[in-house]
Copies of this chain bind each other. A is one copy, B any other.
Amino acid sequence: RIMRPDDANIAGNVHGGTILKMIEEAGAIISTRHCNSQAGEPCVAALARVERTDFLSPMCIGEVANVSAEITYTSRHSVEVQVNVMSENILTGAKKVTNKATLWYVPLSLKNVNKVLEVPPIQYARKEQEDEGKKRYEEQKLDRLETKQRNGDVILPVINPEPHTVGYSQSSLIHLVGPSDCTLLGFVHGGVTMKLMDEVAGIVAARHCKTNIVTASVDAINFHEKIKKGCVITVSGRMTFTSNKSMEIEVFVDADPFVDESRERYRAVSAFFTYVSLSKEGKPLPVPQLLTETEDEKRRFEEGKGRYLQTKAKRQAQMQQAAQQ
């Protein structure tokens, strides 16, 4: 579809969140279709996890986004979907890969939303494809378990913060979940959640560096708990780390089923977003360093640095590998 002014920031760059939402919709369609392809209980595929995603090149207003999706692995209860996004300038014909994402879905019964159904297996062209898929499946399963445990943090407000401190840029928004945000089962689409997360992270980044910012990458996102129609969700973001030219922002999503007395507010999702600051010509700008004050902030800065160096090393290894081929 054509990118509209509402999909973009004032500099004309399409929000990463808009792209994440399109990716998730494509993933939900293909995996729901697959899981219903054999006779049996009807089901809806629910997003369980999105693997780390890089935004390779910015998309602009007026360009057309082409989204394609393919199922690449099935375990007994989950589906791995690979989604590619290309931006096409229909005036010049130029096409660019904008985004590649891997998503995991789980089929939930339409009749009983707490029942996870079995996934029809796919055929693999080669045995190695199945083995590699299985390896990816095991890895993500482990990572999901891990993040579930360290999911208890809360963002506390700060009064009169200094510029470039963590408290200065931290932000949160609330959103009342409406019918158009939800699947047939009455739960929020993963893509809607990701769009709100990107919105908050973008505001944190812009408050920190006061320039035009764009999403550079999103770390793996795990969806631990479903969010029901009628909930209020609070999406909060705080900066955790800055390198010379990038900012890492941690985002939390908390759901408050306030009309349902029996449930407490709970943490539904958390993730790290990385942003870069761009000049008017679209070149990366240096980013003011994050000033850490408390012990926790210093610890999170070091952890962010670890993730940053690890990603950098991985990318260099890939480039060397590519150069040798």
Q: Which residues of A approach B to under 8 Å, CB–CB? A: 1-2, 4-6, 9-10, 25-26, 28-29, 32-33, 36-37, 39, 42-44, 61-62, 64, 88, 90-93, 110, 156-157, 159, 163, 171-176, 178-180, 184, 199-200, 202-203, 206-207, 210-212, 229-230, 232, 256, 258-261
Q: How far is the CA of A92 from the CA of B61 in the complex (A)?
A: 25
Asked if residues B176 and A174 are in contact (CB atoms below 8 Å), the reply is no
On chain B, the residues within 8 Å of A39 by CB distance are 261
CB distance from A231 to the nearest CB of B (A): 10
Asked if residues B25 and A179 are in contact (CB atoms below 8 Å), the reply is no
Mind listing 12 A-B residue pairs with CB under 8 Å? A5-B179, A9-B230, A10-B230, A10-B259, A29-B174, A36-B91, A61-B184, A156-B157, A172-B172, A173-B175, A178-B179, A210-B258
- Looking at A37, A62, A92, the one whose CB has the most chain B CB atoms below 10 A away is A62
CB distance from A72 to the nearest CB of B (A): 19
Asked if residues B206 and A258 are in contact (CB atoms below 8 Å), the reply is yes
Q: How far is the CA of A199 from the CA of B2 in the complex (A)?
A: 8
Asked if residues B259 and A29 are in contact (CB atoms below 8 Å), the reply is no
Partner of A259, one of B110, B175, B258, B261: B110
CB distance from A2 to the nearest CB of B (A): 6
CB distance from A44 to the nearest CB of B (A): 7
Asked if residues A232 and B91 are in contact (CB atoms below 8 Å), the reply is no
Q: How far is the CA of A229 from the CA of B180 in the complex (A)?
A: 12
On chain B, the residues within 8 Å of A157 by CB distance are 156-157
Asked if residues B174 and A206 are in contact (CB atoms below 8 Å), the reply is no
With A93-B207, A110-B259, A184-B259 already in contact, 16 other A-B pairs whose C-beta atoms are closer than 8 Å: A1-B173, A1-B199, A2-B9, A4-B179, A5-B180, A6-B179, A25-B176, A29-B90, A33-B64, A33-B90, A33-B232, A90-B206, A173-B174, A174-B203, A176-B199, A207-B256
Asked if residues A259 and B93 are in contact (CB atoms below 8 Å), the reply is no
Asked if residues B92 and A36 are in contact (CB atoms below 8 Å), the reply is yes
Partner of A2, one of B25, B43, B159, B256: B25
CB distance from A249 to the nearest CB of B (A): 14
